[in-house]
Amino acid sequence: MKLFALFALGLQRNSFDASRRATFMRSSAMTPAPSSSVTASALRPDTSSKPLSVAFLVNDFPLLSESFVINQAVGLIERGHTVDIYTLHNLQPGESAVKHRDVERHRLLDRTHYAITIPEDRSLRVLKALALLVANFRQNPRFCWRWCKSILLGGGKNLWRLLYIAAPLLRRSHDIVHCQFGTIGLTGLALHRLGAIRGKLITTFRGFDISQGVRTRGDRVYRELFKTDARFITNCMFFERRLLKLGCDPARLTVLPSGIDCTKFTPAERVGGRRDNQFRLVTIGRLVEKKGIDTRCARSPDSRTLTRISRLGIPSSAMVRCVNPCSG
């Protein structure tokens, strides 16, 4: 329990003082969310407890659309903990890729370990797998024996994928392994059972994993994950209710909203009006139906004032494009 509390405190990087919060909310006409109990003093490293070694399990890194992963990693690092990031894929950013400032400031790419690419040729796949097992047997014999036994018992194609994902993990031990998204939690569970993961398993549910993921794979998709002693995090009470309905133990589920560091946003008083008398909506998000951008355009109280979305940033690993989805 104390281990999880330290970890959760590290995730609460994006807190800010009440006066600045109130100023920001008034100027932006927003309703404040429940305030965090973490104050600015919590941003200092915690010297009263032993620093944690934390592993993040993610699909790809870095992604502009998943700044919460960066924020959480930086929050833990600022408190004196060690963070390693492991990806399920081998999609490495190019030199010209747009990156979050904190990725470079905290050298997060130096802490990132990419999954090994699986050869398409079956013979090469087997030979490379044998090489990985031999190279890592001394560091983690339990995983190597369990993986070989599962293969001999006909464990299936997924075992090959798990070996190539697990290889960077086998030489390290962590206090906590944090799986970003429930779907990755299933992979984390499989790695834990094989012995690749040594540490407490924590899974964060954020949206598609308990909406589209459940619709596609059924209500029982996370049953085995919920049976373990893992801890679970979700970012709002709506998702909390969904998880409880799916069978998650309420004693092991924590609601931890994704924070925003409002010190990075300086509100300014509005002076006068726009010359073109247009209402301009600025939104940053993926162009997918669930974000509701098309609904907002269609239901404008006065379609003449909302002639277009002035700027729409679409986070991706390669670029940020500007489009006018409501024009025409």
What is the band of 85 on the pLDDT scale with cuts at 50, 70, 90? very high
How distant is the alpha carbon of residue 286 from its chain centre? 15
- The length of the chain in residues reads 328
Cβ atoms < 10 Å from Cβ of 101: 9
What is the DSSP track for 75-134? Answer: HHHHTT-EEEEEESS--PPPTT----HHHHHTTGGGGEEPPPPPPSSHHHHHHHHHHHHH
Tokens, residue 281: 């909506």
Q: What angle do CA 46, 47, 50 make, to 5 degrees?
A: 95
pLDDT band for position 241 (cuts 50, 70, 90): very high
Spell out the CATH class of 2-114+173-262. Answer: alpha beta
| Residue among 271, 265, 257 nearest 20 (CA) | 265
Residue with tokens 């909203």: 257
Instruction: Give the model's pLDDT for residue 67.
Output: 83
Q: Both tokens of residue 129?
A: 């797998």
List, in sequence order, every beta strand (DSSP E) within 166-261: 176-180, 200-205, 231-234, 253-255
Q: Give the residues across from 112 on adjacent strands.
A: 85
Hey, where are the domains in the chain? Answer: 2-114+173-262, 277-328
Q: How far is 257 from 310, CA to CA, in rounded Å?
A: 29
Coil/strand/helix, residue 241:
helix
2-53 pLDDT, tens digit each: 566 656 655 655 443 344 444 333 333 333 333 333 323 333 444 557 889 9
Mean pLDDT computed over every residue of the chain:
76
Query: Is pLDDT at 294 greater than 50 in this prediction?
Result: yes
Tokens of 192: 């834990």
In tens, the pLDDT along 182-204 reads 999 999 999 999 999 888 999 99
Specify the pLDDT at position 240.
Answer: 93
Report the alpha-carbon distance of residue 226 to residue 223 in Å, rounded: 5
Amino acid at 236: C
Examine residue 62 and say whether the peptide bond preceding it is cis (omega within 30 degrees of 0).
yes
Q: pLDDT tens, 139-185?
A: 899 999 999 999 888 777 788 999 999 999 988 889 999 999 999 99
Name 234's bridge partners: 205, 255
Within the chain, what is the greatest distance between any pair of CA atoms?
74
